[in-house]
Amino acid sequence: MKTRTLGKDGLTVSAVGLGCMGFTQSYPPYPDRKDAIATIRRAVDLGVTFFDTAEVYSYGRNEELVGEALQPVRDQVVIATKFGYDLAEMPDLTTSARPVSLSSRPETIRRAVEGSLHRLRTDHIDLYYQHRVDPNVPVETVAETISELIKEGKVLHWGLSEAAPATVRRAHAVCPLTAVQSEYSLWYRKPEAELLPTLEELGIGFVPFSPLGKAILTGRFNRDTKFDKSDFRSAIPRFQGDNLKHNMELVEYVEKLARMKQTSPARIAIGWLLAQKPWIVPIPGTKRIERIEENIGGEDIRFTTEELDDIRRHLDRIEIRGGRYPEDQEKMTGL
């Protein structure tokens, strides 16, 4: 697979990464551990070198899975994980109780990094994101703490997730950021307004999660799809009732593009993202090897300038209805 570079400090990763959250949370059913490990290792065989997890995903169990899967190839891959919640509130991490509190206090970050290093079976974290901005801790304080961890060799690069452009600037001024992560896709384009220009100006890479719109852009669903209560999408307004019926207009448009290009809707969605900027690296999540193969094929999709202009005109005419998170979680994002 081709590679891309995130940030001015030159973090090189595969052009398409793998989001690992779904192996253990939000999108059941989940594979057993043996199958999940085999899938992650097969992704490496296919050329994926960029793997994304977080401390709070399944309260550490996701990191444990990723750590075990990648331990044999640790020197060949880039592991990104995230801090920003206080898991010390949960002495028994096997519980499914929710939620845990946001916390980016220096002592919480230091406790988090030690836990992540242990679970990931490594002595350093390649890319360490603040998962959500903590309104009670200045981002400058967070940046100073990460700067210390970088000097100690425990963290190599750092980033922010779901942060507003102004926050990005403040953090970057203290300790240069390598990447910012947020949702971005044909299904959600708000980062184009202010965030992407800010990142381009500062030389920071962008890592879109949910590049397939939480699988809506794969063509797997229709206007009458209803999600089980155990599925995170069941609580997201844009996947519900009349909103979903209305929003299928975009899905049908992407399916039309796929027919024209003689490829799959997923590859259209990934290819479109890669065509936006050379410093964008999407991290589609999946639990299946065949989906990984399909997603990384998105790097082979090419669009002419005229095609990209035409797609943008169509997208500008399509209204997406409903929030991208439940209301209580939407308030925790900076976009």
Q: Which two tokens stand for residue 56?
A: 């709070």
Instruction: Strand 78-83: give its sheet, edge to edge.
Output: 18-19, 50-52, 78-83, 125-130, 155-161, 179-183, 205-209
Which of 37, 32, 42 shows the shortest CA–CA distance to 67? 37
The CA distances from residue 15 to 157, 194, 196, 280, in Å, are: 18, 23, 18, 8
The DSSP secondary structure of 278-311, one letter per residue, reads TTB----B-S-HHHHHHHHGGGG----HHHHHHH
Beta strand 11-14 pairing with 18-19: unpaired
- Is 57 a known active-site residue? yes
Contacts of residues 121-125 at CB distance under 8 Å and 24 or more positions apart, as own/partner, are 121/67, 121/68, 121/70, 121/71, 121/74, 122/67, 122/71, 122/74, 122/79, 123/153, 123/154, 124/153, 124/154, 124/155, 124/156, 125/79, 125/80, 125/81, 125/154, 125/155, 125/156
At 329, list the tokens.
């979680």
Active-site entry in 27, 57, 85, 129: 57
Helix, strand, or coil here: 102?
A: strand
How far is Cα 146 from Cα 187, in angstroms, rounded to an integer?
A: 33
* Per-residue exposure over 177-206, b if at least 16 CB sit within 10 Å of its own CB, e if not: bbbbbbbbbbbbbebeeebbebbeebebbb
- How far is the C-alpha of 41 from the C-alpha of 292, rounded, in Å? 11
Catalytic site positions: 57
